[in-house]
Structure 1
Amino acid sequence: MSGFKNIIGHKQVIEHLRSAIKLDKVSHAYILNGEEGSGKKMLASAFAMTLQCETGNDEPCGKCKSCIQAMNNNHPDIIWVTHEKPGSIGVDDIRVQLNNDIGIKPYSSNYKIYIINEADKLTLQAQNALLKTLEEPPAYAVIVLLTVNHEALLQTILSRCITLNLRFVEDDLIKRYLMEVKQVPDYKANISVAFAQGNVGKAINLASTEDFDQLKDDTFSMLRNMNDMEMYEVIEYIKKIAENKLNIEDYLDLITMWFRDVLLFKATNDVNSLVFKDSISDIKKQANERSYNGIENIIDAIDKAKVRLKANVNFELVMELLLLTMKEN
């Protein structure tokens, strides 16, 4: 755990939480809503640590007993609700870890804080059990729900919580962090930032994983050689995609970024504005070979592939259609 000052972006959310602490107007329930990797856990940790800090300020000191316990993840009054089933949080998880515990006063602090990660996975029964506590929480209780999709929660729960939506973080802030703190090379920071689209966690993960480098190299090799590939080679490549460790959306986003670079270079002939500057010779070649209409058809086909995959259309069929569209255009 660390304080607010170490969090990149999310200025409005941080200001809201700090102001609540400073004015002693902390709510009993909050929802931090944002996509995976956006920083919900860090914000919840910083909020909890600050609330429990012995100084009572709007930024934790990092030195008192409470802060040290929080940083070591063993603070008795900061409880992370866990669940064994990956796809859902059951009613017993809420009853045992929250409902049956919340009546016990804080051990050493003014607050007793419960953080439920992946709260949008709460079953209907679990939500109803949580609702009973939200209706009459003890004065010292603060419940923080972390969600990717807060609309999955009952309206009665939403009405009893303050919802704070996490926005995208500016590219410049993420790039500076990657280069100065994580020591990521300039070219790799540029790619990671462009690919992450304002998601700090995703940018850090991409910059530090070899899987992404491998996916990028394999994908660009396919894009370079697509015109010469036979249908059986396309099918083999589809199978390789399916086995890849990274999410299929990452793969499709990567192709989209490639063709946007091709389109941008075709329109401007400017290398400086490209994401994949290190592949300029291949991008230039494809910009000469493809028409504006053809490139736009491919980008549209990628968007359609995403929609079909979300609708659970057969993976191999969707990818085969996409790669054929790319070959035809």
Structure 2
Amino acid sequence: MSGFKEIIGHKNIIQYIEKVSASDMVSHAYIMNGEKGSGKRLLADFFAMDLQCENRDPDGEACGRCRSCSQAMSGNHPDIIFIRHEKSTTISVDEIRTQLNNDIVIRPYSSKYKVYIVPHADMMSVQAQNALLKTIEEPPEYAVIILLTENAEVLLPTIRSRCVILKLRNIKDQLIKKYLMEQMEIPDYKADICAAFAQGNMGKAISLASSEHFNDIKEEIVHLLRDINEMETAELIEAVKKCSEFKLDINDYFDMIAIWYRDVLIYKATLSVDRVVFSDQLKYIKERASKSSYEGIGVIISALETAKARLKANVNFELTIELLLLTIKEN
């Protein structure tokens, strides 16, 4: 970790951070909002390091060499605090009170600021949010709180209104492809495919490029979606069992199905193939576009989101997949 130059994309956010850091116009609370893998944590790490740097460069970026930067890069800075939680789905009020509210009254040990980074802040319970709100309303002058969220809308309006919201945008495919080829030494054709499927998400592109199962998942989905309308119940059940082999990659599985139907929708609406991701399956994309209604495609896309939510809530895996495939078959 050496500086913002390591980050691909997000130029507007980086420029904003460098500007406020250099001018000491730092807000007490920020929300960094973006999907999983979009780079929120990396930006927050560099923001915190930038704020604490003892010898910031003339352009406003942390030097990466001083004692404070060395502590930040090693993850041992006493004035950069990460809020942790025991449960995988909830941040409790006690965790916010203990790690943030009770700690924030203690002045910084060695720096100008005391920076608190809250990953998965959208998982805070309502009670935890209310406890945090009291601190955000009357923070110490040295406090900076950075909330990392995938869905900032679930936070209380009173919290959102008191934070500067930095929304992470999708990264251009060409930048992602360049990174995969230069930094990960991925072949040109594979970098193209991974960038297309990542849909502007660098973390997802890296994950796909590193996955041993990526091509297997893609081929399984192509086979399933081409033939699902002709498949009998027994074959659907077999497809469910096959899907179970990819259980660890299930969100990638769902996202690829969503991209297939996005391709169908784009072709149906525009008759253009320029933005089709499954470009090697144009024959089947065109066939599906001629058979599916806009309403039916919408039902399928909604069913994918429902399936994700069910699995997140620990609903039976095979039942969830079977209901999803039946919905796809019927529409």
| TM exceeding 0.5 | yes
After TM superposition, give the deviation of residue 27 of structure 1 in Å.
0.8
**For residues 113 and 119 of structure 2, what CA distance do their matches in structure 1 show?**
19
Superposition RMSD in Å: 2.9
After TM superposition, give the deviation of residue 104 of structure 1 in Å.
1.5
Amino acid at match of 2:326: E
Q: Does 1:132 align with 2:134?
A: yes
- Show structure 1 runs of 5+ residues with no match: none
Q: Relative to structure 1, is the Cα distance of residues 135 and 216 closer, same or farther in structure 2, using a 3 angstrom cutoff?
A: same
| Partner of residue 305, structure 1 | 303
Whether the 8 Å CA contact 2:53–2:62 is kept in 1: the answer is yes
Name the SS of the counterpart of 1:56 in structure 2: coil
Name the SS of the counterpart of 1:38 in structure 2: coil
Whether the 8 Å CA contact 2:117–2:148 is kept in 1: the answer is yes
> Alpha-carbon deviations, 1:219-271, whole Å to 9, x = none?
2343466577443112210233255325655324423545638996xx67x8x
Whether the 8 Å CA contact 2:4–2:46 is kept in 1: the answer is yes
| Partner of residue 211, structure 1 | 213
**For residues 212 and 31 of structure 2, what CA distance do their matches in structure 1 show?**
34
Q: Relative to structure 1, is the Cα distance of residues 185 and 116 closer, same or farther in structure 2, using a 3 angstrom cutoff?
A: same
Amino acid at match of 2:325: M
Task: Tell me the matched-pair count.
Answer: 318
Whether the 8 Å CA contact 1:31–1:144 is kept in 2: the answer is yes
Whether the 8 Å CA contact 1:31–1:163 is kept in 2: the answer is yes
Whether the 8 Å CA contact 1:168–1:197 is kept in 2: the answer is yes
Given candidates 102, 108, 123, the residue that maps to 1:121 is 123
Question: After the TM superposition, which residues 92-131 of structure 1 pair with which residues of structure 2 at under 5 Å, given as runs?
Answer: 92-131=94-133
| Partner of residue 323, structure 1 | 329
**For residues 86 and 310 of structure 1, what CA distance do their matches in structure 2 show?**
16
Name the SS of the counterpart of 1:210 in structure 2: coil
Mean CA deviation greater in 253-262 or 226-235: 253-262
Q: Does 1:142 align with 2:144?
A: yes
Whether the 8 Å CA contact 1:252–1:302 is kept in 2: the answer is no
| Partner of residue 190, structure 1 | 192
Q: TM-score, normalised by structure 2?
A: 0.85
**For residues 186 and 296 of structure 1, what CA distance do their matches in structure 2 show?**
36
**For residues 132 and 287 of structure 1, what CA distance do their matches in structure 2 show?**
53
Name the SS of the counterpart of 2:49 in structure 1: helix
After TM superposition, give the deviation of residue 73 of structure 1 in Å.
0.6
Q: TM-score, normalised by structure 1?
A: 0.85
**For residues 80 and 258 of structure 2, what CA distance do their matches in structure 1 show?**
42
**For residues 291 and 87 of structure 1, what CA distance do their matches in structure 2 show?**
37
Amino acid at match of 1:306: L
| Partner of residue 19, structure 1 | 19
Mean CA deviation greater in 209-218 or 124-133: 209-218
Q: Relative to structure 1, is the Cα distance of residues 285 and 134 closer, same or farther in structure 2, using a 3 angstrom cutoff?
A: closer
Q: Relative to structure 1, is the Cα distance of residues 273 and 199 closer, same or farther in structure 2, using a 3 angstrom cutoff?
A: closer
Question: After the TM superposition, which residues 245-284 of structure 1 pair with which residues of structure 2 at under 5 Å, given as runs?
Answer: 245-246=247-248, 248=250, 250-258=252-260, 260=263, 275-276=277-278, 280=280, 283=281
